[in-house]
Amino acid sequence: PSGIPVQGGTGVTTSIASSLSVLQGIYPEKPRLVHRLDRTTSGLLILARTRKAAQDLTLRFHNGTSPGSEDDPAAPSKIVKKYLAIVSSAKPIKAASHDGSFRLQGDMLLTTTGKAQIIQMAPSDSSISSLAIKSVWPSLTDVVIVSQNFHSGTYWALLNLYPRTGRKHQLRVHCAQMLHAPILGDLKYSGAGPMVESRSAPRIYLHMAELELKDWVANTEDQASRIQKGESHRITKDGTLIVTGKPEDDMQRAMERLGFIK
């Protein structure tokens, strides 16, 4: 669920990281974190039971796509992450293809203003001083429009977001600054204007809904039989492990209210 920090920090007394020993159970070692979610994001959080699994998963999450592919985001992916997001915009979102898919790609900047750090897309002009830029991160997100509706004077869309790079706040910044459709509840990147109030929500409606681990099961018939099947995960014929997680009740209600689901 959202609201639970993955790692500790200032003012954080309880987190997933501090509770790993509780999750050890009968296993010889406690599970390990291999990635993280923002505190406001709900959905799948994968833990590794062994050191070997942790090394493999950490490499996959760190690289985003195939080994060495942060320089080539279009390379075949060893891991596929699918997020579900509710976004709002001043006009309907247009896709580049008939299936509702398109790509958001550009450089993200980490800049400083005084003591404040700001993450944003690189502008087309030279409005930002090079002295203020601390980091430049190439970023890429594939997008699929699931549904769009006009509700209470605002255009709303339900999107599947597939980050091909793993930059901080990447999906939030891409939606707000490249798509001009901030995620519902994300007031940090919504900016000013008459639509800000309509975007207010108890939390950010961004949910990690599905995770694919390519070639996770090397010998499908042998190893797949050891993995208990369930509603939340399955193994494909090529050895890919697919794990899914349903959105929380509040996000389900928001999707119903906006006409995305019945």
Q: Which residues are catalytic?
A: 38
Element of type H or E holding 25: none
Element of type H or E holding 148: strand 133-151
Q: Report the alpha-carbon distance of residue 105 to residue 89 in Å, rounded.
A: 19
* Residues 152 and 145 sit within 8 Å (Cβ to Cβ): no
Query: Which phi and psi angles does 67 have, rounded to 5°?
Result: -50, 130
Distances (CA, A) of 213 to 30, 95, 109, 119, 185: 22, 27, 29, 29, 30
Cβ count within 10 A of residue 95? 14
Q: Measure CA 93 to chain center.
A: 20
C-alpha torsion angle, residues 204, 210, 215, 220 (rounded to 10): 150
